[in-house]
Amino acid sequence: MSLYEKIVNREEKISLIGLGYVGMPIAVAFAKKVSVIGFDINEEKINLYKSGLDPTKEVGNEVIKNTTVDFTSDAKRLKEAKFHIVAVPSPVKDDQTPDLTPLKSASRTLGRNLTKGSIVVFESTVFPGATEDICIPILEEESGLKAGVDFKVGYSPERINPGDKVHTLENIVKVVSGQDDESLDIIAKVYELVVDAGVYKAESIKVAEAAKVIENSQRDINIAFMNELSIIFNKMGIDTKAVLEAAGTKWNFLKFSPGLVGGHCIGVDPYYLTYKAEQMGYHSQIILSGRQINDDMGKYVAENTVKRMIKANKQINGSRVAIFGVTFKENTPDVRNTKVIDVINELEEYGVEVLVVDPVADEDDLLNEFGIKLSKINDIENVDAVVFAVPHDEFKEIQLSDIKHFYRTNYSSLNIAAREVAATTEQAINNVEDGYVLVDIKGMFNRQEAENVGYDYWRL
């Protein structure tokens, strides 16, 4: 009987190593069909899962309560499984070079608990060659086993889009690869258990690794182009969104939009590819140029916010700005590598007090990683500018008229004498209206409507 058949018959188990935004949905999906051990070194996270809470918000508390995933932080339990999926983060260091620490650590932990006849599949983003040149030697060293003989290895890049309830594990074609034909066949069959869209068998592990990094590099470059267009059109006094809507009427125009590019994929993966290219003696031109543009957009947004405030006669040092949204993208609590932090840091360099509102963000991660404490929306008052950075669904319910209550210059916050003065002349009223600096990074609101009701509106 093959390993695949034993897994289907629940005679052997699958383990998921790393239960974050990627690993958890995979574990839950497989648990509907086979026996799954869910392992993570974070004991606190494991306890949350055991109590039926989903800190990632990827599958929801109800699903976690009812899943049959066997959650554990005991690495020795990995010996009970024969098919292992490694889905740990693969970030970059401060110098933008790959940080393989989590991947190496997971490989060591698994290696110490690896048994003969096992298959190990890595899902973490890596540069081509990392699985075979870095991970396999660690597994062999820790286990005392020989890859290709005592155990097999494969690579299947994760394609889950955090916060996306449409493009999920089940309906995205899964790229799979293996050390040899036998392992590739088993890996493909195992993933076909949960991936309704089917699998694509890559011809080698390196091909699968390369496919992953270019997927996000391509998207990164396209967004960088949109960001550069936004900078150019801003100088020309042209609305970028209006231009893109007009251009988008052509059938083959690629519909990307400008924005802050963060997170653990698009803002990171290109550096894995360029790092490997540098090792091979090639200096990337297009990829790194795109990265530079996208990495600078947080500063660009902050500078334009300050410029609008200056034009509105605001004293910058000591002013207050409210930022709505701090996660790396909408409708996910994930704050890893969020570029909203760049906006905040740059504003603070100008002496601005920044208040951050985000009903979705993981408060503990935000406080631990960035030292930022969230404010409640009801606490926002007397600010000099409002920045909508992330278009969470909750924010889309906010009306333009509601936003005015947050400002220092709206009538509700003016003292009685100032109100009387403002009411005496039309010019004074216009000056009050000029105080409503509204920065809408992703274009949540209608520009014309915002300007018609008195906002000094700006967006990418």
Active site residues: 265
Determine the residue type at 23.
G
Determine the residue type at 3.
L
Closest CA to 6 of 143, 119, 102: 119
Q: What are the φ/ψ torsions at residue 366 (nearest 5 degrees)?
A: -65, -40
- In what side-by-side order are the strands of the sheet with 385-388? 353-357, 320-324, 385-388, 437-440, 456-458
> For tokens 């290696």, what's the residue?
111
**What is the Cα–Cα distance from 128 to 204, expressed in whole angstroms?**
10
Determine the distance from the C-alpha atom of residue 447 to the mean position of all C-alpha atoms in its chain, rounded to a whole number.
27
Closest CA to 344 of 329, 313, 366, 377: 366
Closest CA to 34 of 80, 65, 72, 73: 80
DSSP labels for 351-415? Answer: T-EEEEE-SSS-HHHHHHHH------GGG--SBSEEEE-S--HHHHT--HHHHGGGBTTSGGGS-
> Encoding tokens for residue 439?
């920065």
CA dihedral 220, 459, 337, 159 (to 10 degrees): -40
